[in-house]
């Protein structure tokens, strides 16, 4: 998860960034409203922590402009303790939460967790599931059939990104920006190296989940079990004409993101009730 921190008081910004990094968030820090607006407008952030009192462009203006641009990234405003007006204006302008200064970093962390759970539709556990894998991104732990593997920060971030977007292709550029941010010399080869490492970890665990490279586009998660089940269902006699599938938008026709292999012949969503129409949720049962 990548967080943008917009705070002109550099001492506070650096201290906060340190706390966030220690808790395994990827953090970019900018010290002005205009930079905050420019960075947040890229849409690569999962969360923005935005101070209201900024020298050039104040936080409320940044917030309003972002929302006007259609950037829906969750935003926590840092407000002055007494400024009730600011809080109301902030919430009205589309902030998701606010935190009066000064605050304890634990409180900020709790609010970040609450907001990211809400944003991801994860109800309680703060974990992501796909196939036989369960990932706790902040703890960097990957669980496979009861066995826990401790991941590196980058590996956890990469897997989190792929799991949160299961069913779609995650562009290589997106991986690069999410894991390394904009202020980096890292390039595509860094992404490839980390994908390769994560593949080794998955293979080492004996997981049915693998990372598929979609040439020229990016990466997507595959679950071999799901694929086998698909093949079995496809060959099962009497399946072809099965009613109930007709009205559903086939995966074939859902243009764009769906490069998910193994979906083509899949008759419906039978195994996963309640998922219809919510693409991208497959890997994250509530």
Q: Which is nearer to Ca ion, 12 or 109 (CB)?
A: 12
Stretch that binds Ca ion, among 3-11, 101-109, 151-159, 198-206 (CB under 5 A): 3-11
Which of 28, 46, 51, 96: binder of Ca ion (CB under 5 A)?
51
Please report, in angstroms and rounded to a whole number, the separation of the first and last CA atoms in the chain: 19
Detail the DSSP E strand segments found in 224-264: none
DSSP, collapsed to helix, strand or coil, labels residue 118 as helix
Shortest Cβ 170–Ca ion spacing (Å): 34
Q: Which is nearer to Ca ion, 33 or 279 (CB)?
A: 33
Using the rule CB under 5 A, is 53 a contact of Ca ion?
yes
Using the rule CB under 5 A, is 86 a contact of Ca ion?
no
Stretch that binds Ca ion, among 31-39, 53-61, 62-70, 252-260 (CB under 5 A): 53-61
Using the rule CB under 5 A, is 160 a contact of Ca ion?
no
Shortest Cβ 61–Ca ion spacing (Å): 14
Shortest Cβ 12–Ca ion spacing (Å): 8
Q: What is the DSSP string of 138-185?
A: TTTEEEETTEEEEPPHHHHHHHHHHHHTTTSPEEHHHHHHHHH-SS--
Q: Which is nearer to Ca ion, 18 or 270 (CB)?
A: 18
Q: Cβ atoms within 10 A of the Cβ of 167, count?
A: 21
Q: Which is nearer to Ca ion, 36 or 218 (CB)?
A: 36
HSE (CB half, 13 Å, CA atoms) of 84?
A: 0
> Tokens standing for 44?
């690569």
What is the Cα–Cα distance from 219 to 242, expressed in whole angstroms? 32
All residues at 6 or more sequence positions from 250 whose CB lies less than 8 Å from its CB, including other chains: none
- Restricting to residues 6-25, name those near Ca ion by CB under 5 A: 8
Shortest Cβ 13–Ca ion spacing (Å): 9
Give the interface with Ca ion as residue ranges (CB under 5 A).
Answer: 8, 51, 53
């Amino acid at each position: 998860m990548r967080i943008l921190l917009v705070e002109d008081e550099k001492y506070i910004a650096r201290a906060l960034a340190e706390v966030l990094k220690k808790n395994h968030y990827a953090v970019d820090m900018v010290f002005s409203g205009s930079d905050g607006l420019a960075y947040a407008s890229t849409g690569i952030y999962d969360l923005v922590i935005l101070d209201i009192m900024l020298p050039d462009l104040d936080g409320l203006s940044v917030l309003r402009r972002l929302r006007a641009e259609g950037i829906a990234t969750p935003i926590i405003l840092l407000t002055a303790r007494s400024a009730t007006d600011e809080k109301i204006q902030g919430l009205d302008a589309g902030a998701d939460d606010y935190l009066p200064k000064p605050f304890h970093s634990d409180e900020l962390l709790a609010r970040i967790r609450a907001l990211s759970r809400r944003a991801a539709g994860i109800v309680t556990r703060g974990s992501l599931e796909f196939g036989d894998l369960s990932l706790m991104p902040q703890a960097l732990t990957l669980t496979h059939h009861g066995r826990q593997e401790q991941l590196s920060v980058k590996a956890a971030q990469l897997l989190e990104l792929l799991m949160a977007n299961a069913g779609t292709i995650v562009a290589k550029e997106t991986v690069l920006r999410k894991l390394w941010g904009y202020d980096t010399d890292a390039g595509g080869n860094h992404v490839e190296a980390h994908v390769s490492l994560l593949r080794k970890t998955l293979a080492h665990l004996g997981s049915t989940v693998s990372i598929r490279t979609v040439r020229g586009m990016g990466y997507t998660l595959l679950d071999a079990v799901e694929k086998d089940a698909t093949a079995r269902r496809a060959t099962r006699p009497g399946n072809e004409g099965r009613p109930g599938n007709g009205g559903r938008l086939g995966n074939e026709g859902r243009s764009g993101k769906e490069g998910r292999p193994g979906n083509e012949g899949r008759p419906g969503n039978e195994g996963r009730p309640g998922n219809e129409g919510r693409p991208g949720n497959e890997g994250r049962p509530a």
